[in-house]
Chain A
Amino acid sequence: MGRKEVLDRVEAATSHIVPSSLPSATPSFPKYANPIERFLRALEAAGGRWFAGLEKAGVAAAFENILAETGYDRIFWDDPSILEVAGLGGEGSGLPQGDSAARSLLQSRHPPGKFLTPIAVESVPRTSDQLSNLTITVSRGAWGIAETGTVVEESGPAAGRVLPAFAPVHVALLSAQRIVANSAELFQNLKPGESGSSLTLVTGPSRTADIEQTLIVGVHGPKRFYVILTS
């Protein structure tokens, strides 16, 4: 019903107009001599925290820092390959399928006492109870934008929409090679339709200024947002 009516009205209203052609050149966006530096500064300005220039061992240490800072003792993820990138195990084979497998893997890689608090790791929590008990979540950032300090989080077979959005603390692992200068460059690299159903540009923690324009960090989404930049 509505379709024909709306389209008829729209077309009747515009039938007297000759459509003009869209411009082929888009306005320019800023470039940076040191995009990584710009990325980190912009992320900081948006209230995000970061660890940068890290090899595998450094990544594990960054996680220890985050655990200590937040006081949490558990990390959650959708993507099992996170373990390998994070220097927490993996090697591409024998990926942890569930709670106990992951825990034993972690313990085997890291001697007891190295973490300030014992870590239990779980994958893919989905019930309301599980989600209510989320602590730190980790995902892999697909891209970074230097201009704004933004991380692009893409959904896919091993990355859902929920964990990075609902956890009180979120950590994005990002390769320094994936940082582009600006959003125009990002959009040239992203092929819409080839990606998953959801793509989110994340810049810092969740925030609001709805009461008296007072900036409050952490209203619905993560209260803390970390980026671990791998080289």
Chain B
Amino acid sequence: MQFRILRNTSDALSDGPLQANLKHALGRSLTARAAAVSEVENWEELRSYARHIKKCTLRDLGRYLRQMEEQVQRQGGRVLWASDAREAVGHVLEIARTHQASTAAKSKSMLTEEIQLNAALEDSGIRPVETDLGEFILQLAGQIPSHIVAPALHMSRAQVAALFADKLQMEATDDVRELTETARRRLRREFLKADLGISGVNFGIAETGTVVVVENEGNARLSTALPRVHIALMGIEKLIPRWMDLPVFLKLLTISATGQRITSYVNLLNGPKRREEPDGPEHFYLIFVDNGRSAILKDDRKRQTLSCIRCGACQNVCPVFQSIGGHAYESTYQGPIGAILTPQLTTASDAPEHPFASSLCAACREICPVKIDIPEVLLILREQAVESRTGPRSERLAFRLWAFAMTRPRIYRLGEKLIRLAFRLGAGGMKRGPLAGWVRSRDLPAPAMESFRSWMAKTRGGRNGS
């Protein structure tokens, strides 16, 4: 068992530039969101509605998946099903072979990060080009996203400038406009060359077979307009039942993610180009990806995890994420939603610390646009971790000791005395021993010199003075 988050935390906390980047970016996102929410009179009603719709969808997911499949096929698209990452990647490679593709223009998709599609494409001689600016930066840097919505949020303009100077042979400048223009010029050539356009899916509308891709840059629009083949990969939980449900989800998503009333582009795609249309992809494939999701569906309390619309608001508001950033989690999904999603999508022993990387302050529950009770799921996962002994051994031991003492007043009192004694002997400044890691970046408050119990006995609750 490895404790990666714990190890990464102290590095992240002492990384000055990272701390500055996090503070700047997350603060701005939260401010923009709050302003946009204040414009919406029935925000709470929208949240409750969306939560209810997601609940209904997940309870009857098989039916909606079949309905979506039928609608996409009716429009001339093909639907493929993948039970895990390997199968999903296999489908994409097979499509690439069928169409003799050598390059793919990719728009932002967390699911393709989850199944590590880029590595598989490269291994098969197909060049994937990330076209979202943030993802493009990360591809150049050889990094994974550190945030669901703003993947390169951990980097400063100076870091991006240095990267572009190194990899794109451009003159170093920290003018963001010039950096963006460089990416634009380079990626326009890629859009024109690409054989495949690969996108994620924000919402799949079962009733109409519509794939919804929400974005600001226009790269998803181009990835689904220019290449002759469009492949959309979709987690099976991304369904919504009806066309008329979309306006609510759209509003919740864009406001929660970036504080925009709507993003620059919302692409509603219904299969390949029609015969009479002048352009658009000739082939459209939709890949339904399970990869652990159906297992989450089983549990009545954990099922809500699959309601997530990937807005990133819980990451922005989380004091843990604000302090350590996304990379410290070493997983595709980070922050509060990542803390409950990661151990359920992978196996719990691959992410032993995720459910514990939270202070349970519940800010995530307050901000979630679909009202996922993240703390509730965290507690369930913690319970399971403890029961299955995948949690930290020292913590298990500490809690067992505590439970032992709490049920035996004499021993508890003795313990108190020992702790006071230890402090008198200088344990507060302890640089070694079991608490060393804890006190390195925190103060260890000394216990009161008198215990509550002895004060109570002496004063009868203050009635005897002092």
Q: Which residues of A contact B (CB under 8 A)?
A: 1-3, 5-7, 9-11, 13-14, 17-23, 26-30, 42, 46, 78, 124, 126, 128, 131-132, 145, 147-148, 150, 155-162, 165-166, 182-184, 186-188, 192-193, 195-214, 216, 218-222
Which of B62, B219, B268, B274 touches A219 (beta carbons < 8 Å)?
B219
| Cross-chain contact B52 with A6 (CB below 8 angstroms) | no
B150, A2: Cβ atoms under 8 Å? no
A-B contact pairs, 14 of them (CB 8 A): A6-B81, A27-B45, A28-B42, A42-B261, A155-B280, A160-B280, A165-B225, A192-B270, A198-B224, A199-B267, A201-B268, A209-B258, A219-B133, A220-B191
9 nearest interchain CB pairs?
A221-B218, A2-B81, A161-B225, A210-B134, A160-B279, A192-B208, A9-B294, A206-B218, A13-B297
In the complex, chain A residues whose CB is within 8 Å of the CB of B15: none
Q: Which of B16-75 contact A (CB under 8 A)?
A: 21, 24-25, 28-29, 41-42, 45-46, 49, 52-53, 55-56, 58-63, 65-66, 75
B390 surroundings in chain A (CB, below 8 A) = none
Cβ-defined contact, A29 with B247, below 8 A: yes
Closest to A127 in B: B192
When the two chains form their complex, are residues B261 and A6 in contact, meaning their CB atoms are under 8 A apart? Answer: no
Residues of chain B within 8 A of A197, CB atoms compared: 75, 269-274, 277, 280
Chain A nearest Cβ from B267, distance in angstroms: 5
User: Across the interface, which residues of B come within 8 angstroms of A200, CB to CB?
Assistant: 221, 265-268
Interface residues of B in 200-235 (CB under 8 A from A): 205, 207-208, 210, 216-219, 221-222, 224-226
| Cβ–Cβ contact B279 & A162, under 8 A | yes
**B192 touching A212 by the CB < 8 A rule?**
no
Take A13-B295, A160-B279 as given contacts and tell me if A220 and B222 are in contact as well, using a CB distance cutoff of 8 Å.
yes
Complex partner residue of B247 from A78, A156, A183, A206, CB under 8 angstroms: A183
- Give complex CA distance A162, B399 in Å: 62
B53 touches A156 (CB 8 A): no
Distance of A218 Cα from B152 Cα, bound (Å): 19
A198 touches B244 (CB 8 A): no
Which of B95-103, B172-180, B343-351, B447-455 interfaces with chain A? B172-180
Cβ-based interface call for B238 (8 A): no
Closest Cβ neighbor of B55 among chain A residues: A20
Closest-by-CB residue of B relative to A131 is: B192
B53 touches A210 (CB 8 A): no
- Given the known A-B contacts A184-B244, A206-B216, are A17 and B59 also in contact in the complex, defined by CB atoms under 8 Å? yes
**Of A2, A131, A158, A219, which is within 8 A of B83 by CB?**
A2
Q: How many pairs of A and B residues are in contact by the CB < 8 Å rule?
A: 274
Q: Is A205 a contact partner of B264 (Cβ separation < 8 A)?
A: yes
The answer to whether A213 and B244 touch (CB under 8 A), given A14-B60, A207-B216, is no
User: Could you say which residues of chain B place their CB within 8 Å of the CB of A1?
Assistant: 81, 87
Q: Are B262 and A209 in contact (CB under 8 A)?
A: no
Contact present for B62 and A10 (CB under 8 Å): yes
Cα of A2 to Cα of B86 in the assembled complex, Å: 11
Given the complex, which residues of B lie within 8 Å of A124, measured CB to CB? Answer: 278
Q: Which chain B residue lies CB-closest to A19?
A: B60
| Beta-carbon nearest neighbor of B80 in chain A | A2
Given contacts A42-B261, A193-B208, contact A210 B133 (CB under 8 A): yes
A150 and B264 alpha carbons, distance in the complex (Å): 8
Q: Which residues of A contact B278 (CB under 8 A)?
A: 78, 124, 126, 157-160
Whole-angstrom distance between the alpha carbons of A94 and B183 in the complex?
A: 42
Cα–Cα, bound, A119→B424 (Å): 88
| B370 contacts the other chain (CB 8 A) | no
- Chain A residues within 8 Å of B160, by CB: 211
- Flag if A148 contacts B219 (CB, 8 Å): no
With known contacts A26-B49, A192-B208, A221-B222, A20–B56 Cβ distance under 8 A: yes
Check if B241 is an interface residue, CB within 8 A of chain A: yes
Q: A156 and B133 in contact (CB under 8 A), knowing A2-B81, A201-B262?
A: no
- Complex Cα distance, B281 from A155, in Å, reads 12
Most buried by B among A29, A126, A132: A29
Q: Is the CB of B179 within 8 A of A208?
A: no
Residues in A neighbouring B41, C-beta threshold 8 A: 30
Min CB gap A103→B, angstroms: 20
Interfacial chain A residues near B236, Cβ < 8 Å: 6, 10
Shortest Cβ distance from residue A112 to the other chain B in the assembled complex, whole angstroms? 31
B290 contacts the other chain (Cβ, under 8 Å)? yes
The smallest beta-carbon distance between B447 and chain A, in angstroms, is 44
Distance in angstroms from B371 CB to nearest chain A CB is 14
Beyond A21-B56, A27-B42, A208-B216, is A221–B274 a contact (Cβ under 8 Å)? Answer: no
The reply to whether A220 and B218 form a contact with Cβ atoms under 8 Å apart is yes
Which of A155, A166, A201 contacts B226 (CB under 8 A)?
A166
A204 B264 Cβ-Cβ under 8 A: yes
Nearest chain-A residue to B52 (Cβ)?
Answer: A23
Q: In whole angstroms, what is the CA distance A219 to B207 when docked? A: 33
Q: Please determine whether A187 and B224 come into contact, CB atoms closer than 8 angstroms.
A: no
Contact of A19 among B56, B176, B267 (CB under 8 A): B56
Do residues B244 and A187 form an inter-chain contact, with CB atoms below 8 A? yes
Contact in complex: B265, A19 (CB < 8 Å) = no
Collect the chain B residues with CB atoms within 8 Å of residue A5's CB: 81, 83, 290
CB distance from A41 to the nearest CB of B (A): 11
Question: How far, in whole Å, are A184 and B246 apart by their CA atoms in the complex?
Answer: 8
- Which residue of the partner chain B has the closest CB to A204? B264
